[in-house]
Amino acid sequence: MARITNVRFEHYHAPNTLGVEEICPRISWNYEDILTDFEQIAYELEVSEVSEPSKLTVISTTKLSSSASYLVPWPHSSPALVSRQRAAVRVRAWDQAENATAWSCHTYLEVGLLSRNDWHCKRIAAPWGPHASPGPDTEELYRKEFHLDISTLSSIIKARLYITAQGVYEAEINGKRVGDHFMAPGWTAYDGRLQYQTYNVGGMLVPGANCIGVRVAEGWFCGRIGFEGGHRNIWGEHTALLVQMEITLDSGEVLMVLSDGSWKVAKGPIRLAEIYDGEKYDARKEIPGWSSSAEIDNDDALWEPVLEILDLSDSVTLTAGFGEPVRHIEAIKPVSKIITPSGKVVLDFGQNLVGHVHLSNINGMPGDKITLSHAEVLEHGELCTRPLRICKAIDKYILRGTLDEEYAPRFTFHGFRYAQVDGWTGDSDSLFNSTRAIVCHSDMRPAGEFSCSHPLVNKLYSNIVWSMRGNFLSVPTDCPQRDERLGWSGDLALFAPTAVLLYDCFNFLKNWLIDLEHDQIVLGGVPAMVTPNATLPDPVWCRRVPCAIWHDVTILAPWALYEETGDESILAQQYHSMVTWMSKVPRNSSGATSLWETSVFNLGDWLDPSAPPSAPWKGSTDARLVANAFLIHSLSLMIKISHILDQPTDTTHFSTWHASAISEFRNEYITPTGRLVSDSQTAYALAIVFNLLKLSQIPHAADRLVYLVRKNSFCIGTGFAGTPYICEALAQTGHLNVAYGMLLNEKCPSWLYPVTMGATTVWERWDSMLPDGSINEGEMTSFNHYAFGAIARFLYERVAGLRRVEAGWKRFGVSPGVIGGLPFSEATAEHVCPFGTVRCRWVAEEVEVEDTDGEDKYRIKLQVSVPYGTTCEVFIPDGGGVRKELVGPGERSFESLFVDDGSWPVEALPPKS
Ligand code: BGC
């Protein structure tokens, strides 16, 4: 009998459902163990209130005749949830023969504090703020004791800690760490939104004296952050803390422990906590028992009363946020120990990653100092820190002088593969065994897998996943190591369609897009170049200058989320932002009026390999052509989006604009036969994929693209703008073999060149490291930028051949990317879509057959998994053509013989979504 699994609210995953901002969450579920003819004809939702950990009171039971199992509405008969309410839902369903499934397991969700009126605490700060000094400040330790007698303790049914800081914080209760978030409360546009977190602290309370302690450091809020060295105090001049602990007793009484003027504050052992420069921890300055009620050093010079400062401005929304918290995801052991030519000890973790080092078994004298310096690469055998620019990336630990000390930074993170350790007092074997790299990022659910018969391509795929991991830390960033780590919108605009295939990043990006719109409103309608807008204090160009691609993120990112999930709510949420941006695109004031104003500077095909290292915008493709291609692409999406959201006037407006823009584009940039005035890979790729050509022009344009690729010896000639589309353009026009020629090329510039150079993440530049191992002289050289990793989408969709046909995967296609000569003899892709896991795996081999007139013949075996709720169009290479089958849920296998001369026929490809 069919089994209901994975019941969930909106786009949340356990354990991230405590303290959410939802009042009528939609509900989804999947099926397992279905028979092939199973059809859901009705479902029943049972909503219960959870009044104590194990007591469920049914609020409503709603049965509906419906085949829907994804994002079904909150039942009408259940009142909207209110602040602090905890609900449980379970589901059962009926099939066409009226057989009911068993009830699913219960799924839980708890609402956070929905209104400012729910907050009763004061915002507190250390009396020595605001920071007058230009340099960074030490962390602050806040503490408050409270008493719970034994009878009170035994009558507690629920205890929650609602907490946030302007800065970054870690809380402890009675000496134990609360929760497992890293760099909480995360980075948002702090002038508009501040996230708080909710923790279940019931099990941490004890009879008698209790203590809550919170350490707060500057973080993104007032630490140095930004572009070209950044600024301090962008969102405020001092850190602050808001704490509200609510202890609910079985009588209904709620005891509150609130941040207020009765709290004490002291300077903590973290003497420096900076995102760029790193952390300095002086263990001699620890205050033993600082977060417990045990006797502590009550030296008044140490502990001072806090300041109650003005309540948080009403213009700042206190929000639970939507993105998953940043956590310690994985610990990695070093793979080797290197003694550098200058005699330094460097540990190699074998993987460029983002997080920090964890040291244990530290032994030495009080005051001994261990220094950890980080870098992504070595140059001339030494740590190469030049690409970090104005960023030290150094953590220092000063020993307490006791046995087996341990250290890991709390309020900083680095992008590194290598860590140089100075001052280790033990032998180098003990260092090797006592060191781990802790990988940190937003704790999104992995959503995809890809592998194939080509080891270098598999490594490329792994590098792309690692670059996404490294740059999805609270917000989507450009790079995680140097003095930027900013939410550069263009990088995300181009990578979002790939990102959604690798991880479930719906909530992560939904959260960031809210900030994006906030920054956009502050700047009068033109989005910021980076969100959160750390360029606010800069009078420079990145404040309020319209920029194609970077600002098209307003449309491209929500569209990627919609395509992946079919969830129109994200389009509705961002519609105002999209329409506002479109109204701000500066249009040509003379002559043609539907395209970009020609005098506006655009970044164009950023980092085209032919651009000089110091001027990445000077690529071979006209930057205006690139800007206009993206404008037309955005317009075509706005036609669809306004239609989906039923905005007919806007649909007409965008359709008219799109028609005239495309006509002006053709007049300006395309010859009657289909040549582009910028005779470049990017120009043709964009023209083909964005449908800028007339049908009659496509073959000529495609031939020209193939010619350019061959002329360039299959090397890449694209930057940020063209890279996501070049292979797809070739595949769409029947040149999959040429696309494979580019994909499998190992000469620089290519996707595999960095892999052959030992890369473990995607580089910012095609040649961040030069063939002789030296590092590109360009002042902007990172080894961890996801933009060029957009090719992972091609791996899924064209090599493995698994692609979405309808938004949300209700219909998907499988079309093995097998071609004659078998550059790939097998490929597998799987993806967790809203309905379950879609999967395809194919294996091909050459077979000896006598009667094929010298043509090569191959056998292909294909397996496809189709979850309930989806339909799959399978394209099976067969003979000299392609056989199409439409299949429903279940596991399917296909086998056929096919003939191929090396060119994969375009009709074999499933239609695009
Ligand atoms: C970033 C890029 C970004 C660009 C735009 C760089 O410094 O690292 O990824 O998009 O600036 O100017």
Query: What is the pLDDT confidence band of residue 675, given thresholds at 50, 70 and 90?
Result: very high
Residue-wise pLDDT tens digits, 808-834: 999 999 999 999 888 999 999 999 999
pLDDT of residue 37: 86
When pLDDT is averaged across residues 6-33 and rounded to a whole number, the result is: 96
Lowest mean pLDDT among 407-411, 614-618, 647-651: 614-618
48 domain-assigned: yes
766 domain-assigned: yes
Last residue of a domain, one of 773, 800, 827: 800
Please report, rounded to a whole number, the percentage of residues in the chain having pLDDT higher than 70.
96
- Candidate of 488, 556, 608 to mutate for ligand 1, largest count of ligand atoms within 8 Å of Cβ: 488
> Are the C-beta atoms of 192 and 282 separated by less than 8 Å?
no
Nearest atom in ligand 1 to the alpha carbon of residue 479 is 8
Residue 478 alpha carbon to ligand 1 centre in Å: 7
When pLDDT is averaged across residues 368-384 and rounded to a whole number, the result is: 96
398, 254: one domain? no
pLDDT of residue 907: 36
Which residue lies with its CA nearest to atom 7 of ligand 1?
A: 780
Residue 491 alpha carbon to ligand 1 centre in Å: 8
Query: What is the pLDDT confidence band of residue 374, given thresholds at 50, 70 and 90?
Result: very high
741 domain-assigned: yes
Give per-residue burial for 224-261: e unless 16+ CB within 10 Å, then b.
Answer: bbbbeebbbbbbbebbbbbbbbbbbbeeeeeeebbbee
When pLDDT is averaged across residues 451-456 and rounded to a whole number, the result is: 97
**Total count of residues recorded for the chain:** 913
761, 824: one domain? no
pLDDT of residue 54: 77
pLDDT of residue 908: 36
Please report, rounded to a whole number, the percentage of residues in the chain having pLDDT higher than 90.
87
Task: Give the domain extent around 274.
Answer: 116-319
Which residue lies with its CA nearest to atom 9 of ligand 1?
A: 478
Check which CATH number belongs to the domain holding 855 and give it: 2.60.420.10
Nearest atom in ligand 1 to the alpha carbon of residue 550 is 10
φ and ψ of 877, to 5 deg: -60, 130
886 domain-assigned: yes
pLDDT of residue 905: 39
Residue-wise pLDDT tens digits, 146-204: 999 999 999 999 999 999 999 999 999 999 999 999 999 999 999 999 999 999 999 99
293, 363: one domain? no
Please say if the pLDDT value at position 903 is more than 70: no
> Are the C-beta atoms of 239 and 165 separated by less than 8 Å?
yes
610 domain-assigned: no
Query: What is the pLDDT confidence band of residue 542, given thresholds at 50, 70 and 90?
Result: low
Token reading at 562:
């919609």
The C-alpha atoms of residue 208 and residue 358 are separated, in whole angstroms, by: 35
700, 848: one domain? no
Going by C-alpha positions, the residue among 803, 824, 805 that lies closest to residue 814 is 803
pLDDT of residue 693: 98
Residue-wise pLDDT tens digits, 78-104: 999 999 999 999 999 999 999 999 999
The C-alpha atoms of residue 713 and residue 699 are separated, in whole angstroms, by: 21
Query: What is the pLDDT confidence band of residue 408, given thresholds at 50, 70 and 90?
Result: very high
558, 681: one domain? yes
794, 824: one domain? no
Residue 607 alpha carbon to ligand 1 centre in Å: 9
Ligand 1 pocket, residues with Cβ under 6 angstroms: 478-479, 484, 488, 490-491, 603, 780, 785
Nearest atom in ligand 1 to the alpha carbon of residue 617 is 12
pLDDT of residue 589: 73
Check which CATH number belongs to the domain holding 16 and give it: 2.60.40.10
222, 366: one domain? no
588, 709: one domain? yes
489 domain-assigned: yes
Query: What is the pLDDT confidence band of residue 850, given thresholds at 50, 70 and 90?
Result: low
Residue 393 alpha carbon to ligand 1 centre in Å: 20
390 domain-assigned: yes
106, 120: one domain? no
> Are the C-beta atoms of 217 and 180 separated by less than 8 Å?
no
615 domain-assigned: no
Residue 526 alpha carbon to ligand 1 centre in Å: 18
Lowest mean pLDDT among 46-55, 321-330, 694-703, 886-895: 46-55
333, 203: one domain? no
Going by C-alpha positions, the residue among 344, 498, 317 that lies closest to residue 428 is 344
Please say if the pLDDT value at position 131 is more than 70: no
Number of domains into which the chain is organized: 5
- Give the count of alpha carbons within 13 A of 485, CB side only: 31
Which residue lies with its CA nearest to atom 1 of ligand 1?
A: 478
Residue 657 alpha carbon to ligand 1 centre in Å: 30
Last residue of a domain, one of 77, 111, 145: 111
Please say if the pLDDT value at position 400 is more than 80: yes
- Give the count of alpha carbons within 13 A of 806, CB side only: 12
Which residue lies with its CA nearest to atom 5 of ligand 1?
A: 488
763, 867: one domain? no
pLDDT of residue 535: 84
**394 CA to centre of own chain:** 26
Nearest atom in ligand 1 to the alpha carbon of residue 785 is 9
pLDDT of residue 536: 76
What pairing do the DSSP bridges indicate for beta strands 378-379 and 382-383?
A: antiparallel
φ and ψ of 891, to 5 deg: -100, 130
- Candidate of 228, 376, 606 to mutate for ligand 1, largest count of ligand atoms within 8 Å of Cβ: 606
pLDDT of residue 904: 43
φ and ψ of 267, to 5 deg: -80, 135
pLDDT of residue 593: 86
- Give the count of alpha carbons within 13 A of 342, CB side only: 10
When pLDDT is averaged across residues 332-353 and rounded to a whole number, the result is: 97
Looking up tokens 């970054």 gives 168
pLDDT of residue 639: 98
Last residue of a domain, one of 319, 352, 367: 319
Token reading at 437:
């790299």
- Candidate of 390, 467, 491 to mutate for ligand 1, largest count of ligand atoms within 8 Å of Cβ: 491
pLDDT of residue 591: 65
Catalytic residues: 484, 764
Residue 305 alpha carbon to ligand 1 centre in Å: 44
432, 451: one domain? no
Check which CATH number belongs to the domain holding 554 and give it: 1.50.10.10
Query: What is the pLDDT confidence band of residue 311, given thresholds at 50, 70 and 90?
Result: confident
Residue-wise pLDDT tens digits, 797-811: 999 999 999 999 999
Which residue lies with its CA nearest to atom 3 of ligand 1?
A: 488
When pLDDT is averaged across residues 231-246 and rounded to a whole number, the result is: 94
Residue-wise pLDDT tens digits, 757-792: 999 999 999 999 999 999 988 788 999 999 999 999
Which residue lies with its CA nearest to atom 2 of ligand 1?
A: 478
Question: What region does 108 belong to: left with phi over 0, alpha with psi -120 to 50, or beta?
Answer: beta
Q: What angle do CA 354, 360, 363 make, to 5 degrees?
A: 135
Nearest atom in ligand 1 to the alpha carbon of residue 782 is 8
Check which CATH number belongs to the domain holding 376 and give it: 2.60.120.260
Q: What's the mean pLDDT when you consider all of the chain?
A: 94
